[in-house]
Amino acid sequence: MIIAEKKPIEEIIGYVDDCGKLLILGCNECVTVCEAGGKKEVGILASALRMYFLNQGREVKIDEITLERQCDHEYLEEIRDVADQYDAIVSLACGVGVQFVAEKYHSQRVYPGVNTCFLGATEERGRWSERCQACGTCILAYTGGICPIARCAKRLLNGPCGGSSNGKCEVNPELDCAWQLIIDRLKALGRLEDYEKLLEIKDWSTDRAGGPRKVVREDLQI
């Protein structure tokens, strides 16, 4: 899922300080799971903003709506009738949702309420870590299901660098060396011969080298 972190309240106040009517728009998907932009966080941010404006002696109307998703037309249509009633919308969705709201409601001010961080997994409640960089050419079949692009600090493709020590990365001693994890897993799978196979030079054209990407499935298009 997409992992996001709440933006500091001061930053959000900086965006909306001149507003008289605000919509805080949550998303029921990834940002709900990582507790950055779901219904609960919408309520917390709205309360914090209300307190701020009250302290300033200002009356600002702040509404709360949480959509099923902000990256789909059908759900964003749910605010069609109310979107233009606000001076601004603070979207707590990931960067995709914020942009989709902005595209759909072209003349409305839309601000991000979270920082979108990475594609990751929940290790435990309150702890998420990166697993995928969406590079567009998945090599997990050859690396024991562990991605060196996302998890090796140097994105190395054929084994660890000299900075791997006791299974940890030189960049951060708390960080597992991705290649140590890969080797251990290949060993456990009895597939160490995969480690001997050289992976080809990475084709970054499916990553960002060719500019913004698009997936088109003609079989699904009406």
CB 42 within 8 A of CB 25: yes
Spatial neighbors of 143 by CB under 8 A, at least 6 apart, are 182, 186, 194
The residue (of 95 and 136) whose beta carbon lies closer to other proteins is 136
Task: Please identify which residue in 211, 219, 221, 222 interacts with other proteins, judged by CB under 8 A.
Answer: 211
The strand order across the sheet containing 88-91 reads 61-67, 21-27, 88-91, 110-112
198, burial (CB in 10 Å: exposed 0-12, middle 13-18, buried 19+): exposed
Q: Please report, as residue ranges, which positions from 62 to 101 form the binding site for other proteins (by CB under 8 A).
A: none
- Closest contact distance (angstroms) between CB of 155 and other proteins is 9
The secondary structure of the chain in percent helix, strand, coil, rounded to multiples of 5, reads 35, 20, 45
The residue (of 130 and 207) whose beta carbon lies closer to other proteins is 207
- Closest contact distance (angstroms) between CB of 162 and other proteins is 20
- Distance CA(93)–CA(79), nearest Å, equals 15
40 makes contact with other proteins (CB under 8 A): no
198 makes contact with other proteins (CB under 8 A): no
| 3-class SS of residue 147 | coil
The residue (of 108 and 206) whose beta carbon lies closer to other proteins is 206
- Closest contact distance (angstroms) between CB of 99 and other proteins is 20
- Distance CA(49)–CA(56), nearest Å, equals 11
- Closest contact distance (angstroms) between CB of 202 and other proteins is 7
| 3-class SS of residue 216 | coil
Q: Which stretch binds other proteins (CB under 8 A): 41-49, 103-111, 180-188, 198-206?
A: 198-206
Task: Please identify which residue in 204, 216, 219, 222 interacts with other proteins, judged by CB under 8 A.
Answer: 204
Task: Please identify which residue in 14, 51, 210, 213 interacts with other proteins, judged by CB under 8 A.
Answer: 210
The residue (of 77 and 203) whose beta carbon lies closer to other proteins is 203
Task: Please identify which residue in 78, 82, 209, 213 interacts with other proteins, judged by CB under 8 A.
Answer: 209
Query: What tokens does 115 get?
Result: 């920082």
- The site for other proteins (CB under 8 A) is made up of 201-205, 207-211
